[in-house]
């Protein structure tokens, strides 16, 4: 399932610090059980140390991109990002 996050549907693309409005609107308009499921699954990934390594590898050491990716993932998971 980790590889399912390696797509470019707005969530992981670099640009502004907020997800593309169309992606976020799709997420927000999804049924609550779908949003809860996605938030729970993202929370599981975010609690795994190896997931951070995978994102760093995917971003090829671009710390700005890593920061943007994690900001977006924590936003969608409804979690507070721990201080690094």
Q: In the chain, what are the helix, strand and coil shares in percent, each to the nearest 5?
A: 65, 0, 35
> What pLDDT score does 8 carry?
39
Average pLDDT, the chain: 75
Q: How many domains does the chain have?
A: 1
pLDDT of 75 strictly over 50: yes
- The yes-or-no verdict on residue 50 having pLDDT over 80 is yes
Non-local CB neighbours of 46 within 8 Å, separated by 6+ positions: 70, 73, 74, 77, 79
Structural domain includes residue 84: no
Whether 83 maps to a domain, the answer reads no
The string of pLDDT tens digits covering residues 7-34 is 334 444 445 555 555 667 787 888 999 9
Domain span at 20: 2-77
Given a cut of 50, whether residue 4 has pLDDT beyond it is no
């Amino acid at each position: 399932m980790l590889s399912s996050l390696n797509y470019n549907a707005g969530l992981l693309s670099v640009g502004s610090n907020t997800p593309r409005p169309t992606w976020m609107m799709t997420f927000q308009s999804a049924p609550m059980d779908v949003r809860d499921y996605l938030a729970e699954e993202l929370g599981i990934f975010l609690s795994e140390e190896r997931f951070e390594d995978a994102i760093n590898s995917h971003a090829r050491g671009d710390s700005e991109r890593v920061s943007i990716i994690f900001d977006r993932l924590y936003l969608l998971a409804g979690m507070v990002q721990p201080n690094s």
